[in-house]
Structure 1
Amino acid sequence: MKKKDFILIIVILIVIASTFGINYFVNTKSGDNIEIYVDNKLYKTYSIDDEEEIKIESEEGYNIIKIHDHGVEITDASCPDKVCVHTGFITKPSESIVCLPNKVHIKITTQNKENDKNEEDVISN
């Protein structure tokens, strides 16, 4: 290998390492709330510090949601494939659980203190 090949490999490794580092620091924020949506409508918002077990029943079926240890998971569902159950325990704002057959969507949100003001971004005429 030539000197230019080693330099190219080192540059690529630095880019990969910096990408993982940035991703790690961006996703280390902890969530504040858990939002549960049923049929694209907000069902209820819970604090991430709560310890609860919720059963959501609809025409499509049921989901049992457990909030504990600063996160949330679906422990049981009536859907045939159980993808939502196999998603597991989520704790970060970038993660979510979706049960398509039962139309349930769970996501972790943060409260951004800087954007609490209702400021207009764009004004159109």
Structure 2
Amino acid sequence: MKKRDFILIALLLIMSAVFFVYNRKIDEKEGKVIQIYSNNKLYKEISIDEETEFKIKDGSGYNIVKVHDGGVEVTEANCPDKVCVNTGHISKPSQTIVCVPNKLSIKIIDSSSDDHDAIVQ
């Protein structure tokens, strides 16, 4: 191996370490607010500390959303693929639940951050 190979390997290891530390920092943030979108419109905003369960109907589709244990999950849906149900319980700001057939999107945000997301129609 030549000197350039060692430099390249060292740079790749350093970049991987930086990415790993940055990713861990994002996951350590605690979410404060759950935002639920139906048909690309904000349907409901709930504190992550609440304990509640409710049904969201959109046309012929429905999702049952349960907020508990510092997170949220979709417990039941009538969509054919059930990806939203199989996603399970989420509790970090970088996690989302999406049900494409029923046009539902659930995300957890850190209310103290200044990050703004845009929904494009």
User: Shorter chain as normaliser: what TM range?
Assistant: 0.7 to 0.9
Whether contact under 8 Å (1:60, 1:101) holds in the other structure is no
Larger Rg: 1
- Encode CA deviations 1:4-61: one digit per residue, 9 max, x unaligned: 3233212211111111111211332111111111112221111101111111122131
Aligned to 1:15: 15
Please list, as runs of the form range in 1=range in 2, the aligned pairs for 1:1-125 lying within 5 A after superposition.
1-112=1-112
In 1: Cα distance, 2:104 partner to 2:73 partner: 12
76-85 or 34-43, which deviates more: 34-43
In 2: Cα distance, 1:72 partner to 1:16 partner: 31
User: CA offset at residue 70 of structure 1?
Assistant: 0.9
User: CA offset at residue 73 of structure 1?
Assistant: 0.9
Whether contact under 8 Å (1:36, 1:43) holds in the other structure is yes
Moved >6 Å (runs of 4+): none
3-state SS of the aligned residue for 1:50? coil
3-state SS of the aligned residue for 1:27? helix
In 2: Cα distance, 1:4 partner to 1:46 partner: 54
Identity fraction in percent: 56
Whether contact under 8 Å (1:53, 1:64) holds in the other structure is yes
In structure 1, list runs of 5 or more residues that go unmatched. 116-125
Q: Could you tell me the TM-score, scaled by structure 1's length?
A: 0.81
In 1: Cα distance, 2:81 partner to 2:97 partner: 14
Aligned to 1:121: none
In 1: Cα distance, 2:96 partner to 2:8 partner: 37
- Encode CA deviations 1:75-121: one digit per residue, 9 max, x unaligned: 111000111112222111122111111111111122227x5xxxxxx
